[in-house]
């Protein structure tokens, strides 16, 4: 089974802080994704990466950056956290075209 591990289940940070969310996968998948999930809005893609050191903007990249230094690890960075970034953040991985994405259990982030 694919295992996607997100470093924190719950996180509380303050406005203006730099926040790091980590995601690690154990299946050697090329593609990794970061989403946020908000009630009524579904999953929205923030950034994705199809290889080490490669990154592509998703639909809502503003206020976020990512890092992929190793194949198994994909980090999401909130440069200066704001209250509208309070959300559930989900990491996903996928091996190749027309295969399902596999998700971690999410990080519920609150920005105060």
Residues near other proteins, by CB under 8 A? 4, 31, 40-43, 48, 50, 90, 97-98, 100-106
Residues facing 18 on adjacent strands: none
Helices (H), strands (E): how many in the chain?
0, 11
Of 16 and 90, the one with the shorter C-beta distance to other proteins is: 90
Of 12 and 80, the one with the shorter C-beta distance to other proteins is: 12
Cβ at position 80, least distance to other proteins in Å:
27
Of 17 and 105, the one with the shorter C-beta distance to other proteins is: 105
Rounded Cα–Cα distance for residues 16 and 14 (Å): 6
Tokens of 64: 């976020």
């Amino acid at each position: 089974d694919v295992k996607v591990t997100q470093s924190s289940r719950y996180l509380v940070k303050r406005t203006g802080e730099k926040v790091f969310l980590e995601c690690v996968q154990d299946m050697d998948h090329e593609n990794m994704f970061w989403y946020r999930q908000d009630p009524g809005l579904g999953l929205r893609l923030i950034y994705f990466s199809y290889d080490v050191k490669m990154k592509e903007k998703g639909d809502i990249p503003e206020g976020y950056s990512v890092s992929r230094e190793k194949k198994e690890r994909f980090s999401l960075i909130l440069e200066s956290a704001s209250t509208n970034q309070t959300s559930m953040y989900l990491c996903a991985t996928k091996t190749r075209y027309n295969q399902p994405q596999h998700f971690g259990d999410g990080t519920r982030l609150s920005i105060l």
